[in-house]
Structure 1
Amino acid sequence: MNTFLTICLFLIPIFLLLAKRRSSKRLPPGSLGIPIIGQSFDLLQAFQANTAEKWLEERIRKYGPISKLSLFGKPTVFIHGPAANKFVFTSDISTIADQQMKSVQMILGDRNLLELSGKDHKRVRGALLSFLKLESLKQYVGKIDEEMRKHLEMHWQGKEKVVVLPLMKTLTFDIICTLLFGLERGTRRDKFVDCFQEMLQGMLTVPVNLPFTRYNRGLRASAKAQNMVKDLIYEKRVELEQKGGSPHQDLITYLLSIRGQDNEVITEKEIVHNILFVMVAGYDTTSVLITFIVRLLANDPAVYAAVLQEQEEIAKNKNSGEFLTWEDLAKMKYTWRVAMETLRMFPPVFGGFRRVLKDIEYGGYLIPKGWQILWVASMTHMENSIFPEPSKFDPTRFENQASVPPHCYIPFGGGPHMCPGNEFARIETLVAIHYLVTRFTWKLCYTDNFFSRDPMPKPTQGLPVYIVPKKPL
């Protein structure tokens, strides 16, 4: 008996060691690198140099479509391909959940839609979708049209040269403030702009909270922005309760008034954090899309001519001063295909993270609980087997959208986590392009096609162009 016990005590550590080795062998290939930092700086440098895709392609050549690394303080598994996209976007919420970098979570707040899961995600997403549903958005076309005209009058008319990207950010921010938050032009809106620029600068950084870091400045800007949103909430609540304001007049008022099936409400903290989420998402992504369309139209005369013809046909059928309508947008089929192809080649959102809620297997490897998964949109967008000649700009790819294989084109994400504001972005983009091509011609000041990411793609110098006004039709 003593001999048996001795043998068992001797073998147990060996069995544990072998089990540990077996477990470690099941982890994807790759290195976690230096603790906390990992490969974060390498990826950030690749963003700045416009080589992020090449950096990931090198990993794929070295390790295959699944590999481990460490990004922004967390062990990470990078997965690639249509099957990977399907896995990310269709997995059960009990298995993986949205997970942003710590810097994004801390700046936007832990109750924003990107951080919620399960019933909370469904409840808050349902509230946002209810406000941004197609039937509601149709009534906003005229208001977006009005904002676009004001924008051109203030920032384009009488100018010989403009810088497109910052102006498009101004446009999308003004639209969001007016339509979604009922915040009129003035000092408070200007302070919001400053805060959001600082927030965006701090979101794609290593979360080291030291006074001289962009992360620290982003946190401080977020605190200021949250206090401003709380002031807005107080004003909207008073207006709603005491003055009989319409629940549908803006997003904040709507979120204050909504009640779920079990009389559930959206808490003030959730309103604040999701207002920041919507403003950051809408401020940058659509402005980037419009900017890259402007650059493309300057570089491709054939595409420009087709867009112009479509938009002039619509303009000719409008009376002087008449706003665009939902029916007009429905006629802009080619223009939207141009936008979709632009999103394929230059997706504003590079990718995202998911949090692993329990040990899972993918591709024959173990992804441990607590790790994060990195997915990247542009990798399948630029794969020759999916989109032939992927470097060629070809809007005809989307004449029959059913021909695009599932889980391969993902500029807005997919499944239950698809961007709730994609239709809103479509309206903004089509209205903006309509007025730009029918009222101006332009020529690029820089003819290179370089762009960097910080974290959104940014063309050289923000895309300065020489502009010439057109005579009215």
Structure 2
Amino acid sequence: MSVLLATLLLLIPVLLLLIRRRKPSKRVPPGSLGIPIIGQSLGLLRAMRSNNAEKWIEQRIRKYGPVSKLNLFGTPTVLIYGQAANKFIFANNGGTIDNQQTQSVKMILGDRNILELNGEDHKRVRSALMSFLKPESLKLYVGKIDGEVRRHLEMHWKGKQNVKVLPLMKTLTFNIICSLLFGLEPGKQRDQFLVSFHTMIKGMWSIPINLPFTRYNRSLRASARIQKMLKQIVDRKRVELERNEASTHQDLITCLIGIQSAGDEQVITEKEIIHNSMLVMVAGYDTSSVLITFLIRLLANEPAIFAAVLQEQEEIAKSKQSGEPLTWEDLAKMKYTWRVALETLRMFPPIFGGFRKAVTDIEYDGYIIPKGWQIFWVTAMTQMDNSIFPEPTKFDPSRFEEQLSIPPYCFIAFGGGSRICPGYELARIETLVSIHYLVTSFSWKLCADDNFSRDPMPVPTQGLPIEIWPRKNLP
């Protein structure tokens, strides 16, 4: 008995030492995973829809600290935020973090889009997309976008006294995307696309419960319809290219088909063409329409800024012949207008948060993010940080006169590092062309309050109704 007791006494210090050594490696952040599958998803979604998401995050920070664990959309998750978090995400090019969206986004947009790909696959597919989305290529399509904007204003704005901005901007960006990406002209097929597309995007941030009555299920079925339509477009365009009846420069899909194989090596698969066409479609449609909508709202509230934007755009308009479309060179002159757009993105970012996946145990800020867990970082918390942007609630485009003065990883409206948004230039062209024709053709005033919700993109009250009148007929 005494021998056993002596042995136990000798083992206790060793056991305590082992426990001390192992404890830090298992020190996951504080917090609760909540109810399985559902977790805190409903709470976050409710906060977003009531425009209290920032307060919801701040309450978690006060309760658990700057790093905490929770369960979002069926996956154990670690929440991080701030400049260090942004740098941690965008500067990580090693094998510790994978680019992965929520299960709902992955299943709806497909597992071969660049939001899901990593390493060499990501580089390969991103390079293929950039062959169309790089500035040197997109400058060829400014005239095409110009034509879509003019047709839209002629059809939906001219002769009207009141309009709802957000639905119209979604219609405009959808038409631009259909024309630019797929070569789809107005008609039955474009209309079918629109119906399915609206249903699909509603479930992208949802709890992945695949039952008939859920938003997620409806989105999955709409995604399947869109993928089938895209497959038909790919097949048709491949035949047209083989018969020399199409050019690889006419739209995104013909461009990708044209570079699908280089010698014996496949550059991009058909599945990757379809999944990434859907991704670019969502990005070009949703984020650009939200940006233009909030630009219109802010210009109504800021008459001095409206006057400065109008002056810049009228100088460009005076240099054009009647009916002459805008050019790439004209867009380069819209420096102030683009600073106004960037300030709009700072204050009202379309994207609230992003997701990654830990591929190994990761130490962050004294805690361990376990392998396989999801990382949720709130992308724009730095953009309203008073220590980075003084008077953050004040609309001040001059902040972007010298962008190098903004600390790195603090303004990330278009991502960063190797993950910077490939559609950045497309969003810039859509925005600048649209604002040019809007401010030179119309004046407006708001007909609703300034409130908005997130679903998950910002949605102004009643879709932002405004009263409009032609500039030649000012009240």
- Give the TM-score category using the shorter length: over 0.9
Do the aligned residues in 1 keep the contact of 2:81 with 2:379 (CA within 8 Å)? no
Deviates more, 1:42-51 or 1:54-63: 54-63
Secondary structure class of the residue paired with 2:266: coil
Q: 1:111 to 1:12 in 2, by over 3 A?
A: farther
Partner of 1:363: 365
Match of 2:301 in 1: 299
After TM superposition, which residue ranges in structure 1, 4 or more long, deviate above 4 angstroms? 2-8, 10-17
**CA contact 1:69–1:76 (8 Å) conserved in 2:** yes
Give, in angstroms, the shift of residue 167 of structure 1: 0.6
Q: CA RMSD in A?
A: 2.3
Q: Is the 8 A contact 1:160 1:467 kept in 2?
A: yes
Shift of the alpha carbon at 1:55?
0.7
The whole-number CA distance in structure 2 between the counterparts of 1:349 and 1:193 is 22
What residue in structure 2 maps to residue 378 of structure 1? Answer: 380
Instruction: Name the amino acid aligned to 2:363.
Output: E
Instruction: Name 1:104's counterpart in structure 2.
Output: 105
Q: Is the Cα contact below 8 Å between 2:128 and 2:267 reproduced in 1?
A: no
| Alpha-carbon distance in structure 2 between the residues aligned to 1:261 and 1:290 | 43
Question: Counterpart amino acid of 1:195?
Answer: S
Q: How does 1:331-410 map to 2 (within 5 A)?
A: 331-410=333-412
**Residue 281 of structure 1 corresponds to which residue in structure 2?**
283
Separation in 1, partners of 2:221, 2:364: 39
Counterpart Cα distance in 1 of 2:119 and 2:262:
15
Question: Would the alpha carbon gap of residues 186 and 61 (structure 1) be closer, same or farther in structure 2, given more than 3 Å must change?
Answer: same
* Post-superposition CA distance 1:278-297 (Å, at most 9, x none): 11111100000000000001
Cα-to-partner distance string for 1:383-427 (whole Å, 9 max, x where unaligned): 000000101110010011011000000011111011100011001
Q: Give the aligned residue type for 2:111.
A: D
- Is the contact made by 1:452 and 1:458 (CA closer than 8 Å) also made in structure 2? yes
**Aligned twin of 2:249:** 248
Partner of 1:139: 140
Q: 1:472 to 1:431 in 2, by over 3 A?
A: farther
Report Cα offsets for 1:216-269 as digits up to 9, x if no partner.
100000000000000000001100112352112111111112135862231111
> In the superposition, relative to structure 1, how do residues 13 and 101 fare at CA in structure 2: closer, same or farther (>3 Å)?
farther
| 2:176 paired with 1:175 | yes
CA drift of 1:377 comes to 2.0
Q: After the TM superposition, which of the residue ranges 99-108 and 21-30 deviates more from structure 2?
A: 21-30
Distance 2:17 2:207 in 1: 36
Q: In structure 1, what is the equivalent of residue 122 of structure 2?
A: 121
Residue 20 of structure 1 and its aligned partner are, at CA, apart by: 10
Aligned counterparts of 1:94 and 1:193: Cα–Cα separation in 2: 39
Deviation string for 1:136-186 (max 9, x for gaps)? 111111111111100111111111111110111111111111112111111
TM-score using structure 2 length: 0.95
Amino acid of the structure 2 residue aligned with 1:115: E
Shift of 1:24: 7.5
Q: Within 2, Cα distance between the matches of 1:34 and 1:88?
A: 28
Q: Which residue of 2 aligns with 1:225?
A: 226
Q: Which residue of 2 aligns with 1:166?
A: 167
Shift of 1:363: 0.6
Partner of 1:239: 240
Specify the alignment match of 1:438 in structure 2: 440
**Equivalent residue of 2:33, what SS?**
coil
Q: Is 1:469–2:473 an aligned residue pair?
A: no
Hey, what's the Cα distance between the residues in 1 that align with 2:314 and 2:254?
A: 38
Q: Is the 8 A contact 1:93 1:117 kept in 2?
A: no
SS in 2 for 1:240: helix
Q: In the alignment, which residue of structure 2 is the partner of 1:425?
A: 427
Assess, with a 3 A threshold, how the Cα gap between structure 1 residues 186 and 93 changes in structure 2: closer, same or farther.
farther
Look up the SS of the partner of 1:420 in the other structure.
coil
CA apart distance, 1:3: 5.9
Distance, in Å, in 2 between the alignment partners of 1:90 and 1:5 is 53
Distance in 1, Cα, partners of 2:409 & 2:262:
32
Name the residue aligned to 1:457. 458
Q: Distance in 2 between matches of 1:253 and 1:325?
A: 23
Name stretches of at least 5 consecutive residues in structure 2 with no aligned partner. none
Deviations 1:105-135 (A, max 9, x none): 0000111111111111111111111211111
Query: Could you report, residue by residue, the CA deviation over 1:189-210 in whole angstroms, capped at 9, with x for unpaired residues?
Result: 1111111111111111111111
Match of residue 41 from structure 1: 42
Tell me which amino acid in the other structure corresponds to 2:152: H
Distance 1:352 1:4 in 2: 55
The letter of the residue matching 2:215 is: R
Is 1:93–1:118's contact at 8 Å kept on the other side of the alignment?
Answer: no
Paired AA for residue 408 in structure 1: C
Counterparts of 1:344 and 1:302, CA distance in 2: 19
Task: Give deviations 1:85-108, integer Å, cap 9, x for gaps.
Answer: 000011124110111110110000
Give the unaligned 5+ runs of structure 1.
none
1:411 partner SS = coil
C-alpha separation in 2, matches of 1:187 and 1:128: 27
CA distance, structure 2, for counterparts of residue 171 and residue 311 of structure 1: 20
Contact 2:31 2:70 in 1 (8 A): yes
1:94 maps to 95
- Are the equivalent residues in 1 in contact too, given 2:149–2:172 (CA < 8 A)? yes
Q: Measure the CA separation in 2 of the matches of 1:156 and 1:269.
A: 39
| Paired-residue identity, % | 68
SS for the counterpart of 2:394 is: coil
Match of 2:376, SS state, is strand
Whether contact under 8 Å (1:67, 1:79) holds in the other structure is: yes
Letter in 2 for 1:228: M
Distance 1:113 1:394 in 2: 34
Going from structure 1 to structure 2, the CA distance change for 1:12 and 1:246 (only over 3 Å counts) comes to farther
The answer to whether the Cα contact below 8 Å between 2:99 and 2:356 also exists between their aligned partners in 1 is: yes
How far apart are 1:40 and its partner, in Å? 0.5
Matched, 1:187 2:157: no
More displaced 10-residue stretch of structure 1: 253-262 or 78-87: 253-262
Q: Which residue of 1 aligns with 2:151?
A: 150
Deviations 1:285-318 (A, max 9, x none): 0000000000001111111111111111111111
Secondary structure of the residue aligned to 1:375 is strand
Check conservation: 1:147, 1:174, Cα contact below 8 A.
Answer: yes
SS in 2 for 1:202: coil
Aligned residues: 471
Q: CA deviation at 1:471?
A: 2.6
Contact 2:24 2:367 in 1 (8 A): no
- TM-score w.r.t. length of structure 1: 0.95
